[in-house]
């Protein structure tokens, strides 16, 4: 099993640019989570999906952030326009709720730097 | 709202010794799950151990055990026979239910350094 795949692994962009982070969950997993890790705020949930439907987006900072899951094998997190305070490591995680799974498998993360 | 507190920003332990990393939590839900994750310097998040709020026995996974004291709302991680490879950040986290997938609330982490 390839595990959770995230791309790109590193992204450097300039303030005001659009950034799209991508995630491929483990095949068969029906829950997908997006987390953000910063020195100031630690690890925090942004949004999560169940069967491609957003369940809780209360952690999404503001309208500049949007997330989609068009199918069971792909999700995107978009920031438009990006700001320096968005610099962080963004993790995607997945879990199989239907088979009683509780352990979240994390991807390697995308390190975003906004200049 | 749920809250996880890790009061030890950093810990040192000698190789082959045991170490306890503290975690306290706050929730009004009777059903919750407690997790520990390890984050080495490479950055990935590695699942270590899980304890459900209704589990009677403390969870164990190899050298890791979770000292679950429900009345005190604590879920300390015990690592036995520390190894140099255990040097990493350790995060305690909780979910708002047990037995099914749910979002995690994380603590601020404890950086463990294993010395010779």
Return d(Cα B48, Cα B25) in angstroms, integer: 18
Model pLDDT for residues B47-102, shown as the tens digit of each residue: 999 999 999 999 999 999 999 999 999 999 999 999 999 999 999 999 987 767 88
Choose, out of B45, B49, B99, the residue to mutate when testing the contact with A (most A CBs < 10 Å): B45
Q: pLDDT-based confidence at A1, cuts 50/70/90?
A: low
Model pLDDT for residues A58-96, shown as the tens digit of each residue: 999 889 999 999 999 999 999 999 999 999 999 999 998
Of B50, B98, B109, the CB nearest to A103: B50
Which residues of chain B make contact with A30, given a CB cutoff of 8 A?
101
Model pLDDT for residues B8-54, shown as the tens digit of each residue: 999 999 999 999 999 999 999 899 999 999 999 999 999 999 999 99
Of A21, A19, A20, A25, the C-alpha closest to A5 is A25
């Amino acid at each position: 099993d390839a595990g959770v795949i995230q791309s790109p692994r590193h992204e450097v962009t300039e303030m005001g640019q659009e950034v799209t982070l991508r995630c491929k969950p483990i095949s068969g997993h029906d829950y997908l989570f997006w987390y953000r890790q910063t020195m100031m705020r630690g690890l925090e949930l942004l949004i999560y999906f169940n069967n491609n439907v957003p369940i809780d987006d209360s952690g999404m900072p503001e309208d500049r952030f949007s997330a989609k899951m068009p199918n069971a094998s792909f999700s995107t997190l978009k920031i438009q326009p990006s700001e320096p305070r968005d610099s962080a490591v963004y993790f995607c995680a997945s879990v199989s709720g239907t088979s009683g799974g509780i352990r979240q498998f994390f991807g390697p993360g995308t390190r975003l730097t906004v200049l | 709202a749920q809250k996880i507190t890790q009061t030890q920003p950093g810990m040192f332990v000698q190789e082959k010794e045991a170490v306890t990393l503290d975690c306290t939590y706050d929730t009004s839900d009777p059903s919750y799950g407690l997790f520990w994750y390890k984050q080495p310097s490479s950055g990935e998040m590695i699942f270590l151990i899980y304890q459900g709020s209704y589990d009677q026995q403390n969870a164990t996974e190899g050298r890791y055990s979770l000292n679950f004291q429900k009345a005190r709302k604590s879920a300390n991680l015990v690592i036995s026979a520390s190894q140099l490879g255990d040097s990493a950040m350790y995060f305690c986290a909780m979910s708002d239910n047990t037995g099914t997938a749910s979002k995690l609330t994380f603590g601020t982490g404890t950086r463990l350094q294993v010395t010779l």
